[in-house]
RNA sequence: GGGGGAUUAGCUCAGUUGGCUAGAGCACCUGCUUUGCAAGCAGGGGGUCGUCGGUUCGACUCCGACAUCCUCCA
């Protein structure tokens, strides 16, 4: 039996023998494509070739591509692991031909693609012919699409006609979007059922019918049309082949298994999980078996995505990773009864398994495991919190007859505390409750509607002014150029209208590699239009503006905001110097994990396992500043990627296949990086470099915030001004920090002394008041206007009378009222004996509100035995005392 | 980008219509007790209640902005 590694290798070897170049898998995380967060098909990294934006350096290419699918019509995250053949992360084997009308012999089309598919499957992989079916596009009159007779004829050379099935537009016609390159495809299906089953039901009837044992393994797409906005099809001059074969399914067929999880791609992980949790996987439909499959699947998605540079987070792509990871935790927590971090323990095994295919995981295995562990621990804490909250909710409802947990409560748990709904249901059932599921769904829908409404963007069609333009970025050399609009479109978001423009030649740098997009001005016939931002869409440079020139076709002068660009370049070059310095000081394990470069500062995230010490940061700063003073010229060169790597260039994540790269060299022995950004001419332009802050952003990831150039100057001078102000405030002491410490300590001591003195004064006042006790209506009464410094002191004084009054002989009941003028405002405190409250309904807050507050023009309240009041009028304090006294006498 | 929640002692958290003299447990310090496993008793220190504004006689509490963290949705 062939191992998965052999099967993968035979695929690649086979296409090498057919003149293909093998390219590495693109990262699973996608940059510069607003429509896509993750690579979800083998063709993603070649999109620009199909769209005609770019020309491929090789006509024939093959690879195995890491893909991730978590949503879409055929792949819902919640379904993965429930069945035996859907995955979040999978490998797509593919072979491509990029047609070139100028050199048709370099590529190939249907004839070769079909013949080679057949050869590989039958001669190399030995899959029996009588288990295979192929489908061919039947045509679609409504869409004016012809039947793919060409593919049909090619297949007839190899396979019995009864095994060639016709397929509908849904299954056998492939389109990237509503417009653009498209074409018919032909799929190869394999029937893996037993002979008895195959005799009973004809395989042909099960093709494309979601049968778990009759599965599609290979799709060959023939891109031959371009669909226009009006729906019509134009034949493409350059025809392409785009194929994809899921490795996991292929291996399952070759190894004769009924489940992808029984192949050697997954059995290692499952065995390790069995050993850790002490339970057995039995390949069945039970929830425990689902849990094993979920872990085996999700581990791959999480590990490879983190290795490609995407950390779990609460937005966008990072959030997808977090969700996958949490789903895995949920399953082992609930169904394998394992309450500790588990996934991270599996990372080394997976890394070793894929060491030769996707070495990036093995190279960062420690880092990935650390990130996963941290994330697991965080979620387990969240679960604990949720469990506590659930207990509260249920004990509040315990008395109710229905034992129904309201949907709003379940949603609150989910939405605010991150507590998964299925776990809520599980625990509710264990406690004899049910969850109002429809109520939950309704709340969820409300949230979705709200979010969607807030982000609704209405994008109109591109208005194309120039066909097949020469779009070019000229901003490396100049900051101003004559140009014109090539196409534009209107965007509506949150009731605001804005415009996106594509220019023929543009000096505007589009946000990329952490460097922010340029801003500036477009001059058109005396009109000035502000460019608010510049961003990339695939390889298009899109300018964001708030209006459109009155004549869109008029020539333009495009001018970049020079000072902002300059300050940004300073920070970009500083980032390279910093990166190199970190590797020199901390070690070569330092790898870039994220970067932000703008006019005001730079932010650099990198992998490192300990806090960077003061000494290390100083050393980094010193090294960068030394390189600045050396005034090293910044050399930028285009060269083949291999040559750049030989030079020691740090290959950053986010690089796709493509031969020529741009390399930024600041002293070949110091810093060599692949980079598309803009830079200063020589390091001396940075002037000075200063780290402002260092901290952690995630497990094993540190962040440095720093400034250079004018921003550094401004930062230092601001710090200096502050320091001078402090120094002056402290009367220029010889040792500033000591003086400040002494001052703080002295201040605390004085405060304490003052408090003591005030307390003593209050004690004296208290003694004095206790000698002035009168008896009113059989109650010991103190009523006095006093002089104290604060409302708190008055309250304390009044409260302290309690112990003295309680000790008076023969007078078990007491009442005290004190009034004071505090900084021009009236303050009153009233103390009532507990028994007095009970027997005569003399509640302090009531007295305060009804009898005291009106006299001082204010309000008040408190507890039954002690209440306070405040007011603006201090002229009736004596009357307050009299009023309370009269009230006591009357009761 | 849009919601929800949180921020109180070194740590984990209470604090119910605005007015309890800002609290508990753990940790810390002192003393007592005790030769034993997460010891007991008594006493004590420690707080700009995230920041800044506002409302009010009075704000930990209400309102607004900001910051940080958690969480869901897009």
Q: What SS3 state is found at A361?
A: helix
Within A303-411, strands assigned E span 404-405
Q: From the Cβ of A412, is strand B under 7 Å away?
A: yes
Given pLDDT bands bounded at 50, 70 and 90, which one contains residue A74? Answer: low
What pLDDT sits at residue A270? Answer: 96
Residue A89, strand partner residues: A68
Given pLDDT bands bounded at 50, 70 and 90, which one contains residue A29? Answer: confident
Q: From the Cβ of A441, is strand B under 7 Å away?
A: no
Given pLDDT bands bounded at 50, 70 and 90, which one contains residue A655? Answer: low
Given pLDDT bands bounded at 50, 70 and 90, which one contains residue A719? Answer: confident
Taking residues A622-628, what's their average pLDDT? 96
Taking residues A416-437, what's their average pLDDT? 85
Q: From the Cβ of A326, is strand B under 7 Å away?
A: yes
Query: Average pLDDT over chain A, rounded to whole?
Result: 86
Name which residue leads in pLDDT, A675 or A646: A675
Q: From the Cβ of A496, is strand B under 7 Å away?
A: no
Convert the pLDDT of each residue in A848-861 to its tens digit: 888 888 888 888 88
CA separation for the pair A885, A819 (Å, rounded): 13
Q: From the Cβ of A54, is strand B under 7 Å away?
A: no
Q: Which residues contact A99 (CB under 8 A, 6 or more apart)?
A: A59, A107, A109, A236, A238, A239, A240
Would you list the DSSP string of A516-529? PPP-EEEEETTEEE
Q: Which of residues 247-266 of A touch strand B (CB under 7 A)?
A: none
Convert the pLDDT of each residue in A531-552 to its tens digit: 988 988 877 899 999 889 999 9
Sign, CA torsion A44/A607/A675/A471: positive
Q: Which of residues 173-232 of A touch strand B (CB under 7 A)?
A: none
Would you list the DSSP string of A531-591? EEEEEEETTEEEEEESS--SSTTS-EEEEE-HHHHHHHHHHHHHHHHHHHHHHHHH-TT--
Given pLDDT bands bounded at 50, 70 and 90, which one contains residue A352? Answer: very high
pTM for the model stands at 0.81
Q: Which of residues 301-320 of A touch strand B (CB under 7 A)?
A: 314-316, 319
Query: Does the structure show a pLDDT above 70 at A888?
Result: yes
| Number of alpha carbons in the 13 Å side-chain half-sphere of residue A497 | 5
Number of residues in chain A: 891
User: ipTM for the complex?
Assistant: 0.81
CA separation for the pair A107, A46 (Å, rounded): 15
Q: CA–C1' span, A745 to B28, in Å?
A: 20
Closest nucleotide relative to residue A792's CA, C1' based: B21
CA separation for the pair A595, A579 (Å, rounded): 10
Convert the pLDDT of each residue in A129-173 to its tens digit: 989 999 999 988 887 888 999 999 999 999 999 899 998 888 899
Query: Does the structure show a pLDDT above 90 at A274?
Result: yes
What pLDDT sits at residue A47? Answer: 82
Closest nucleotide relative to residue A375's CA, C1' based: B70
- Looking at chain A, the whole-number percentage of residues with pLDDT higher than 90 is 35
CA separation for the pair A856, A867 (Å, rounded): 15
What pLDDT sits at residue A811? Answer: 61
What pLDDT sits at residue A34? Answer: 66
Q: CA–C1' span, A164 to B43, in Å?
A: 92
Q: From the Cβ of A323, is strand B under 7 Å away?
A: yes
Most confident of A33-47, A321-335, A422-436: A321-335
Q: From the Cβ of A382, is strand B under 7 Å away?
A: yes
Q: CA–C1' span, A870 to B55, in Å?
A: 16
Q: CA–C1' span, A699 to B15, in Å?
A: 35
Q: Which of residues 3-42 of A touch strand B (CB under 7 A)?
A: none
CA A608 to chain centroid, in Å, comes to: 20
Taking residues A742-757, what's their average pLDDT? 74
CA separation for the pair A815, A832 (Å, rounded): 5
Q: CA–C1' span, A560 to B25, in Å?
A: 62
Q: From the Cβ of A869, is strand B under 7 Å away?
A: yes
- From the list A685, A701, A704, the residue with the least C-alpha distance to A620 is A704
Q: CA–C1' span, A673 to B36, in Å?
A: 65
- From the list A188, A171, A206, A210, the residue with the least C-alpha distance to A86 is A210
Q: CA–C1' span, A870 to B56, in Å?
A: 10
Convert the pLDDT of each residue in A800-821 to its tens digit: 888 787 777 766 788 889 998 8
What pLDDT sits at residue A75? Answer: 65
Given pLDDT bands bounded at 50, 70 and 90, which one contains residue A629? Answer: very high
Q: CA–C1' span, A745 to B46, in Å?
A: 15
Q: From the Cβ of A854, is strand B under 7 Å away?
A: no
What pLDDT sits at residue A298? Answer: 94
CA separation for the pair A232, A28 (Å, rounded): 34
End-to-end CA distance of chain A: 102
Q: From the Cβ of A440, is strand B under 7 Å away?
A: no
Given pLDDT bands bounded at 50, 70 and 90, which one contains residue A348? Answer: very high
Query: Does the structure show a pLDDT above 70 at A370?
Result: yes
Q: Do A833 and A776 contact (CB within 8 A), yes or no?
A: no
CA separation for the pair A410, A435 (Å, rounded): 7
Q: CA–C1' span, A848 to B59, in Å?
A: 19
CA separation for the pair A184, A622 (Å, rounded): 61
**Residue A181 dihedral angles phi and psi, to the nearest 5°:** -65, 140
Query: Does the structure show a pLDDT above 90 at A86?
Result: no
State chain A's maximal CA–CA distance in angstroms. Answer: 120
Question: Which nucleotides of strand B lie under 7 Å from a protein CB?
Answer: 1-5, 13, 18-22, 46, 56-58, 70-74
Can you list the domains of chain A with their CATH numbers? 4-265 (3.30.930.10), 281-454 (no CATH), 456-560 (2.40.30.130), 565-722 (3.30.980.10), 755-890 (3.10.310.40)
Q: CA–C1' span, A382 to B1, in Å?
A: 25
Q: CA–C1' span, A418 to B4, in Å?
A: 11
Taking residues A463-483, what's their average pLDDT? 87
Query: Does the structure show a pLDDT above 90 at A872?
Result: no
The response to whether A572 counts as a known ligand-binding position is yes
Calculate helix-pair angle for A421-430, A365-397, nearest 10 degrees: 50
Closest nucleotide relative to residue A866's CA, C1' based: B20
What pLDDT sits at residue A656? Answer: 59
Q: What SS3 state is found at A344?
A: helix
Taking residues A867-883, what's their average pLDDT? 88
Given pLDDT bands bounded at 50, 70 and 90, which one contains residue A631? Answer: very high
Q: From the Cβ of A795, is strand B under 7 Å away?
A: yes
The response to whether A679 counts as a known ligand-binding position is yes
Sign, CA torsion A83/A84/A85/A86: positive
Q: From the Cβ of A871, is strand B under 7 Å away?
A: yes
What pLDDT sits at residue A654? Answer: 53
Would you list the DSSP string of A362-383? HHTHHHHHHHHHHHHHHHHHHH
Helix or strand run (H / E) with residue A728: helix A710-729
The response to whether A211 counts as a known ligand-binding position is no
Q: From the Cβ of A416, is strand B under 7 Å away?
A: yes
Q: CA–C1' span, A566 to B53, in Å?
A: 38
- Lowest-pLDDT range of A237-241, A342-346, A393-397, A515-519: A393-397
């Amino acid at each position: 039996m062939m191992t998965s590694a052999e099967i993968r290798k035979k695929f690649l070897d086979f296409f090498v023998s057919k003149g293909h170049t093998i390219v590495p898998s693109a990262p699973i995380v996608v940059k510069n494509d607003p429509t896509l967060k993750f690579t979800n098909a083998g063709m993603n990294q070649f999109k620009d070739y199909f769209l005609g934006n770019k020309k491929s350096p090789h006509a024939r290419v093959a690879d195995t591509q890491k893909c991730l699918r978590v949503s879409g019509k055929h792949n819902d995250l919640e379904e993965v692991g429930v069945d035996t053949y859907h995955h979040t992360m999978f490998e797509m084997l593919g072979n491509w031909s990029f047609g070139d009308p100028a050199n048709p012999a370099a590529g190939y089309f249907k004839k070769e693609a079909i013949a080679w598919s057949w050869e590989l499957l039958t001669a190399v992989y030995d899959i029996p012919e009588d288990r295979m079916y192929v489908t061919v596009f039947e045509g679609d009159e409504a869409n004016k699409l012809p039947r793919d007779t060409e593919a049909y004829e090619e297949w007839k050379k190899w396979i019995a006609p009864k095994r060639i099935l016709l397929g509908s537009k849904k299954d056998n016609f492939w389109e990237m979007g509503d417009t653009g390159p498209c074409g018919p495809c032909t799929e190869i299906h394999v029937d893996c059922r037993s002979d008895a089953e195959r005799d009973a039901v004809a395989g042909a009837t099960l093709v494309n019918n979601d049968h778990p044992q009759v599965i599609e393994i290979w799709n060959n797409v023939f891109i031959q049309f371009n669909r226009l906005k009006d729906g019509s099809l134009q034949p493409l001059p350059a025809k392409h082949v785009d194929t994809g074969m899921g490795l996991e399914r292929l291996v399952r067929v070759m190894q004769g298994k009924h489940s992808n999880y029984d192949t050697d791609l997954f059995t290692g992980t499952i065995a390790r999980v069995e050993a850790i949790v002490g339970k057995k996987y039995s390949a069945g439909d039970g929830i425990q078996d689902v849990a094993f499959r979920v872990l085996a699947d999700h581990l791959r998605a999480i590990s490879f995505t983190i290795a490609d540079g995407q950390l779990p987070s609460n937005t966008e792509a990072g959030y997808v990773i977090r969700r996958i990871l949490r789903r895995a935790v949920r399953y082992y927590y609930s169904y394998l009864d394992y309450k500790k971090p588990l996934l991270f323990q599996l990372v080394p095994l997976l890394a070793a398994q894929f060491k030769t295919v996707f070495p990036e995981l093995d190279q960062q295995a420690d880092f990935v495991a650390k990130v996963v562990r941290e994330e697991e621990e965080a979620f387990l804490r969240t679960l604990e919190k949720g469990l506590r909250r659930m207990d509260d909710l249920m004990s509040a409802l315990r008395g109710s007859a229905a034992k129904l947990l309201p949907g709003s409560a379940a949603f609150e748990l989910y939405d605010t505390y991150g507590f998964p709904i299925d776990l809520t249901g599980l625990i509710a059932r264990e406690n004899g409750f049910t969850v109002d599921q429809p109520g939950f769904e309704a709340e969820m829908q409300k949230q979705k509607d709200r979010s969607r409404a807030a982000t609704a963007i209405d994008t109109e069609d591109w208005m194309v002014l120039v066909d097949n333009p020469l779009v070019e970025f000229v901003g490396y050399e100049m900051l101003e150029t004559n140009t014109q609009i090539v196409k534009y479109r209107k965007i509506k978001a949150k009731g605001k209208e804005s415009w996106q423009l594509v220019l023929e030649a543009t000096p505007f740098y589009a946000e990329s590699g952490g460097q922010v997009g340029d801003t500036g001005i477009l001059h058109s016939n005396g009109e000035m239009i502000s460019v608010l931002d510049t961003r990339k869409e695939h390889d298009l440079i899109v300018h964001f503006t708030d209006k459109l020139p009155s004549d869109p076709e008029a020539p333009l002068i495009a001018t970049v905001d020079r000072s902002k660009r300059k300050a940004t370049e300073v920070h970009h070059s500083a980032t390279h110097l910093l990166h190199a310095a970190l590797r020199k000081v901390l070690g070569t394990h330092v790898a870039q994990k994220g970067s932000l470069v703008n006019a005001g500062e730079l932010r650099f995230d990198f992998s490192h396992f300990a806090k960077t010490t003061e000494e290390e940061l100083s050393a980094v700063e010193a090294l960068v500043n030394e390189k600045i003073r050396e005034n090293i010229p910044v050399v930028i060169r285009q060269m083949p990627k291999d040559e750049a790597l030989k030079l020691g260039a740090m290959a950053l994540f986010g690089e796709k296949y493509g031969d020529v790269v741009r390399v930024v060299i600041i002293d070949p022995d110091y810093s060599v990086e692949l980079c598309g950004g803009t830079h200063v001419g020589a390091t001396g332009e940075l002037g000075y470099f200063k780290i402002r802050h260092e901290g952690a952003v995630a497990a094993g990831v540190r962040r440095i915030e720093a400034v250079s150039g004018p921003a550094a100057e401004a930062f230092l001078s601001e710090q200096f001004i502050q320091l001078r102000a402090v120094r002056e405030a402290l009367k220029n002491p010889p040792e500033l920090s000591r003086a400040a410490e002494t001052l703080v300590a002295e201040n605390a001591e004085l405060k304490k002394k003052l408090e003591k003195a005030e307390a003593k004064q209050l004690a004296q006042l208290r003694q004095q008041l206790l000698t002035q006790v009168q008896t009113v209506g059989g109650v010991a009464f103190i009523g006095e206007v006093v002089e104290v410094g604060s409302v708190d002191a008055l309250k304390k004084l009044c409260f302290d009378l309690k112990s003295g009054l309680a000790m008076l002989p023969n007078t078990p009941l007491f009442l005290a009222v004190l009034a004071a003028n505090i900084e021009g405002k009236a303050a009153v405190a009233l103390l009532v004996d507990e028994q007095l409250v009970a027997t005569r309904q003399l509640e302090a807050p009531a007295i305060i509100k009804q009898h005291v507050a009106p006299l001082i023009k204010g309000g008040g309240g408190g507890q039954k035995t002690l209440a306070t009041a405040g007011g603006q009028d201090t002229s009736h304090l004596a009357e307050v005392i009299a009023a309370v006294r009269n009230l006591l006498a009357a009761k």
